[in-house]
């Protein structure tokens, strides 16, 4: 078991170092995408805050649609760029970076699916933990601390198993559910390596969330800046390299069965 953990960690380190090398050599080629993500996110938050009392509902929905299209479309372009770099392709035609409507819709549905799963898991945990009320646990503590914490832990592992669905969507031109099944099959036996990668690249997000929770808004903005310009491109490249490396060793089918690959 210790040898397995050592090998998994070593593989994770290899992937991380290779991704950082790609980032150092090609950072400015994706800096514009990172800047666009930063501007889109902050402009959306600024307008949402200042338009709370604005009466035009149709304008609010239009702006929401525009910002969602730009933000998620830019993320897909960033993923495509990262995939091409992981495959060793430094230059490609402009059309190769533009996501199709099918890719964009499936990518967006992936976030809807994940949000739906969060709700289902929270509901199940609430039902299972309900007897704790009879053991003296306060209802507020149960609903605001215990259930969200357990839901978060479970959803981290769910995320690790389906984390490559955007890469399959961008790379293989397949639908969301097919991409999720392939991601679950690809990550089977690689959970430890992925956990190491998640911990390595997720620290600044934890710092940002902590600052926002304790209302250190200036520090939260600083970490948001770091996340946008350094962590986001690093995550894209790290996951693209991990996807490429694991895909080379993948010996499953093109349409794997879900239940056969969960464990």
- Average pLDDT over every residue of 134-144: 81
Residue range 89-103, pLDDT digits in tens: 888 888 888 889 999
In angstroms, the CA 5 to CA 154 distance is 21
Q: How many CB atoms lie within 10 A of CB 31?
A: 12
Count of other CB atoms within 10 angstroms of residue 98: 13
Residues 6+ apart with CB under 8 A from 97: 77, 80, 81
pLDDT at 262: 65
Interval 112-128 mean pLDDT: 91
pLDDT in tens, 207-221: 888 887 787 888 888
The pLDDT value given to residue 118: 92
| pLDDT over 50 (residue 127) | yes
Tell whether the model's pLDDT for residue 246 goes beyond 70.
yes
pLDDT confidence of 5, banded at 50, 70, 90? very low
Domain parsing of the chain, residue ranges: 2-249
DSSP structure class, residue 229: I
- Rounded CA-CA distance 98/220 in Å is 32
Q: What is the pLDDT of residue 18?
A: 86
Over residues 10-43, the pLDDT tens digits come to: 477 788 788 888 888 888 877 777 778 778 877 7
Confidence (pLDDT) at 52:
66
pTM: 0.79
Spatial contact of 164 and 239, defined as CB atoms under 8 Å apart: yes
Percent of the chain, pLDDT > 90? 14
């Amino acid at each position: 078991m210790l040898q397995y953990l050592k090998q998994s960690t070593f593989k994770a380190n290899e992937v991380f170092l290779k991704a950082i090398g790609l980032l150092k050599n090609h950072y400015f080629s994706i800096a514009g995408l990172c800047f666009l993500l930063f501007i889109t996110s902050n402009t959306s938050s600024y307008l949402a805050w200042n338009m709370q009392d604005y009466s035009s509902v149709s304008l609010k929905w239009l702006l929401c649609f525009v910002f969602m299209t730009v933000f998620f479309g830019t993320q897909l372009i960033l993923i495509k760029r990262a995939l091409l770099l992981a495959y060793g392709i430094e230059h490609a035609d402009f059309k190769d970076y533009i996501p199709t409507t099918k890719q964009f819709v499936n990518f967006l549905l992936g976030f809807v699916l994940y949000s739906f799963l969060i709700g289902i898991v929270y509901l199940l945990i609430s039902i299972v933990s309900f007897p704790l009320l009879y053991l003296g646990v306060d209802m507020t503590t149960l609903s605001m601390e215990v259930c969200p914490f357990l839901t978060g832990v479970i959803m981290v592992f769910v995320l690790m198993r389906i984390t490559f669905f955007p890469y399959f969507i961008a790379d293989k031109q397949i639908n969301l559910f097919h991409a999720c099944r392939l991601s679950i099959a690809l990550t089977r036996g690689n959970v430890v390596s992925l956990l190491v990668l998640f911990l390595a690249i997720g620290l600044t997000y934890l710092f940002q969330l902590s600052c926002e929770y304790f209302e250190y808004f200036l520090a939260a903005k600083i970490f948001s800046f770091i996340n946008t310009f350094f962590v986001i491109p690093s995550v894209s490249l790290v996951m693209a390299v991990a996807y490429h490396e694991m895909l080379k060793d993948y010996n499953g089918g093109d349409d794997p069965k879900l239940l056969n690959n969960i464990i």
